[in-house]
Chains A and B, each alone.
Chain A
Amino acid sequence: MAETDKPVFEVADDASVKAARETLDAHTVEMMAWHFHPSTGCPFWLEYAQSLPFDPIKEVHCYDDLKKFPPFQDEWLRGGPVRRWAPKGFEGQPLYVFETGGTTGVPKSRVNSRDFRTDYEMFSDTLPEEYFPKGANWLMLGPSGPRRLRLAIEHLAQYRGGICFCVDLDPRWVVKLIKKGWMEHLEAYKEHCIDQAITILEAGHDIRCMFTTPKLLESLALALEKRGSSIHKAGITGIFSGGTEFTPQWTRFATEELLDGAYMTPTYGNTLMGLAASRPVTPADGYTIAYYAPQPRAVIELVDFDDTNSVVPYGGTGRVKLTTLTKETFVPGFLERDEGERELPYVKYPWDGVSGVRPFHKLASATTVGVY
């Protein structure tokens, strides 16, 4: 590797990578034993196992053995009965159902008991105390309704000893407004959300942390600036944000011109995976945003567009393939609607990462991104 090509972040050493892999392999075997045992597995997988030419409990010895499963069809997640996804091992426990998509047609859904809490507790450990102080109150300015994000952020705030203030936001309506070309209504809806956010921020609740999306962060920053204030002056010290429009240029612009010194950490997440944290975003790294899945609970691979069982080389472009391995949910090899570049393991996350996440180019024209 040429001197100039050396990564500017701290790459994980081989021993850490190996150890992480061994943990993943052991965790995979444990998950097979859970999901495919009649006493603990969910009806869907127990029934599906009958059609498999192998026994997942006996013949999956490591993570790579999951390739024996045929590709996961996301259509399976649409429609009911949703209880077919509920593991018997959690019988009697309260269940949530979280949805994704759903602008038209039946949304995809995932049942959840405690996973979202675990994911966000793990994520909480990655937040710097200086900017996300324990006990601080939060503002959730993002999609609400049947999404896990709303509850997850509230749990994150509570887990860190704070209270979460929320603003309603219906992304399905936003997508409809865009598709109909009702841009005036779109602006009005955005203003409606921002007005509420500013009202809460100015109401003396000592809110110092916030979740929001890039588009809403832009709008909030501009609205505050018009009032002679700023994100930082409004009291915010730490922002946790997410979305595929999180580009290096956008991050640079936000850092240099919108945040007024507040700290922002990008994340990549969805209802299936949970939450992938990013390694620190720095000017020296060209504001590269690289995400690392919460392994071993979820694994991200960058695979060849045509051969989805082959991982692309480091730096290569591939489609995001997600595997979820929690006791509540098993999703092997789900091909996301995103693509990106494969990143080297980072010292804090000694496994593959992904950068440059954007809509999968073959589906991009049909995807509405950055809508809220």
Chain B
Amino acid sequence: MHLQALRFGKSYESLERETLVHFLTGETVAEVSQVGGAMVGRDLAKSAKAARAALMAMDPEDVVERLQTAGNLYALGTVEVGGQQQSPDDFVQQQSATTGLPESLCRANMKKNLFVLSNMDRMLDALSRGLSPEILWQGYGKEHRDVIVSYQAQSPVLGLVLPSNSPGVHTLWLPVIALGVGLVLKPGKQEPWTPYRMAAAMLEAGIPPEAIGLYPGPTDVGAAILNGCGRSMIFGSATTVAQYAGDPRVQVHGPGFSKIILGDDCVDDWENYLDVMVESVAANSGRGCINTSAIFASRHTREIAAAIAARIGPAEVKQPDDPEATLAAFTVPGVAKAVWEQIEKGVAADGVTHATAEYGPRLVEGERCGWLRPTVVHCSSPDPEIARAEYMFPFVNVVECPQNAMLERIGPTLVATVFSNDPEFQQKLIDSTHVDRLNFGPIPTTKLDWLQPHEGNIIDFLYRSRALQVGDGVMPPGLNAAADVATT
């Protein structure tokens, strides 16, 4: 199988190819054409505006319907990918083979993507607060309160520098086409599968090929995307986040440092929340930024750590096609070992205890890859360095911290699930700007309501609301209810 670059409707076979191999056997799974940043820059200069124009030529409701069809094709159909017919089972096996993710988790992530595409109309309605899609299409119109509103697209295309860690992240860009904005995708090195299959499904469903670019390649492709697109999303490490912080053109998705917080009024009932804590830590093999990396409580922390350890500590490495498999492999040789060595240093610090130690070694080394079994660490205060760590496997710190110091000590938090009925504490959490998604009650941090914004509303990122006033006797082009508007 050869995954070619897709240049807004034209396939491109590069002389340079990256070979993707099975993480266990080393067998070749696919070859991926590698292109350079200059090609991206050139194509963006020539084709970005045409990408949006191709979508604007369609009825917005038709686009949504086609995306819903694409969702079904992606999750249930057979589509052509890399010159071959790819069934959902083929997709799952290929994705598992190069990412190390168990097949059951690949299937679970497919369901998330299907859900988003199937519910696109509801999502857009929620995220746009009921705005008619026509308004985004023509740039202005009247909203339901009979007020003229205007929204400017900030870029004809959204650039995406995608990761390989979890196929669930793709849910973030799925609404983009429905917002009348084209896509420029740089797929993750180990996980080109979702972007390719999704693009194939979209095209088969009738989304215009001029609206989608797919450019696998080295880092300069990512740089060219960020440089050439008016709006981009990049997924990366804390360093990447720091690099693009404050750049309004770039939305950075880095480590989530998601947390569960037990308020003083609820912490004595911690056993009631154990299921939520376990799911938040271990779902999707702990690979997502929405997995909990720390649990904060003022007391019972050792018991909490021990109870979570008892639940997830015994998990064993299984074959990727085993329906019971829950642990993903680190497919880059040496990474699992390096991460474990880092953790070992962290648990050697004062006030830190390794709660899963009694369940056997955590590091499992394979011939070509490695695994880390779920790890629970207890920190007697937020001070040790490891209390702020996040790793790409089920790993959690249970941190003892007085409630009145929690908000100050938790640091940036993508998702916080809070168990507390204390109105004052709840209000402080609502007001805290370093917590992005906030859950009150027994909602795992990994359970996302797609009708709510994630790390900012994507519509606000892609569109800018601005004033548009129309004087008497003026008829703006394309406004059907022109007379009505003109007298407003």
Contacts and interface: CB of A to CB of B under 8 A. Distances in A.
B220 interface: yes
Interface in B374-412: none
A225 B42 contact: yes
A179 to B, nearest CB: 12
Contacts of A84: none
A249 B243 contact: no
A253 B239 contact: no
B474 interface: no
A250 interface: yes
Contacts of B42: 221-222, 225, 257-258
20 contacts: A181-B239, A181-B243, A183-B226, A183-B243, A184-B247, A187-B227, A218-B36, A219-B38, A221-B38, A222-B38, A222-B42, A225-B45, A247-B15, A249-B14, A249-B16, A249-B35, A253-B38, A257-B42, A258-B42, A287-B15
B16 A253 contact: no
Contact of B15 (A183, A258, A286, A370): A286
Interface in B22-58: 34-39, 41-42, 45
B332 interface: no
Contact of B38 (A218, A247, A252): A218
Contacts, number: 45
Interface string A270-303: 0000000000000000110000000000000000
Contact-residue size bin, chain A (C-beta under 8 Å from the other chain): 20 to 34
A119 to B, nearest CB: 29
Contact of B36 (A225, A226, A249): A249
Given A181-B239, A226-B45, A248 B220 contact: no
Interface of B: 14-16, 34-39, 41-42, 45, 220, 223, 226-227, 239, 242-243, 247
Contact of A258 (B16, B34, B38, B226): B38
Point out which of A183, A219, A226 has the most chain B C-beta atoms below 10 A from its C-beta.
Answer: A183
Contacts of A252: 15
From DSSP, what is the main secondary structure of chain A's interface residues? helix
A370 B37 CA distance: 12
B16 A248 contact: yes
9 residue pairs, one from A and one from B, having the closest CB atoms: A218-B38, A249-B15, A249-B16, A181-B243, A248-B15, A249-B14, A222-B41, A222-B42, A253-B39
B99 to A, nearest CB: 22
B16 A257 contact: no
Nearest to B12: A253
Contacts of A218: 36-38, 41
Contacts of A370: 220
Contacts of A181: 239, 242-243
Contact of B223 (A183, A247, A257): A183
Interface in A187-219: 187, 218-219
A329 B223 CA distance: 41
Given A218-B37, A222-B42, 8 more contacts: A218-B36, A218-B38, A247-B15, A248-B15, A248-B16, A249-B15, A249-B34, A257-B39
A92 B390 CA distance: 65
Contacts of A219: 38
A304 to B, nearest CB: 24
A181 B222 CA distance: 14
Interface in A1-51: none
